[in-house]
Amino acid sequence: PFTRPQARAAFAALRNAGIASFAYYLVGLPWETADTVRETVSLARELDSDYANFFIATPLPGTRYFDYAVTHHLLEHRGDPLHAIQEGYSRPAARGHHLSREEIAHWHRWAVRQFHLRPRYLWKRLSRLHGLTEWARHLRGGWTLLRS
């Protein structure tokens, strides 16, 4: 794992080299709390990547996370553990030790908005758009984000 100073240095190096940066964040692992989500978003804002996605952790069969979720009864299912993950990736399939599925969904939405609705980020993204098609796509995505 990277330390915060290492991540800062890596993203600064990308910026200085003119290379676009992408960052992917997970929300909703078993030990997640409201404070750890806030820490993740704080890091995301500090790193200020060109693109970022926040994903809800999903315990897929065959992974240690799935085995852990089954063992610790974190999957809310009706007899079949796979039932919980059949809704897709937009909703949490498992609760955590500290957060319910509903709370994980709330904090995921909060994280996405906290990162993507910053004036600095919006300006950076919108100033790079070319053509009506790109503007239309971004406006639709922004509208979806605001409605969620």
Give the residue-averaged pLDDT of 15-33: 96
Per 3-state DSSP, the chain is made up of helix, strand and coil in percentages (nearest 5) of 55, 10, 35
State both tokens at 96.
């955590």
Supply the pLDDT for residue 117: 85
Residue % of the chain over a pLDDT of 90? 57
Split at pLDDT 50, 70, 90, the class of 44 is very high
The pTM for the full model equals 0.81
> What is the maximal distance between C-alpha atoms in the chain?
53
Supply the pLDDT for residue 108: 95
Supply the pLDDT for residue 123: 79
Let me know: does 61 contact 26? Beta carbons within 8 Å: no
Other beta carbons within 10 angstroms of residue 47's beta carbon come to 19
Outline where 18-130 has alpha helix (H).
34-47, 64-71, 101-116, 119-126
What whole-number distance in Å separates Cα of residue 75 and Cα of residue 59? Answer: 9
What whole-number distance in Å separates Cα of residue 73 and Cα of residue 67? Answer: 10
The residues that bridge with 53 in the sheet, in sequence order, are 24
Split at pLDDT 50, 70, 90, the class of 121 is confident
The residue ranking higher by pLDDT, 34 or 86, is: 34
State both tokens at 136.
């239309």
Give the residue-averaged pLDDT of 93-112: 95
Supply the pLDDT for residue 75: 85
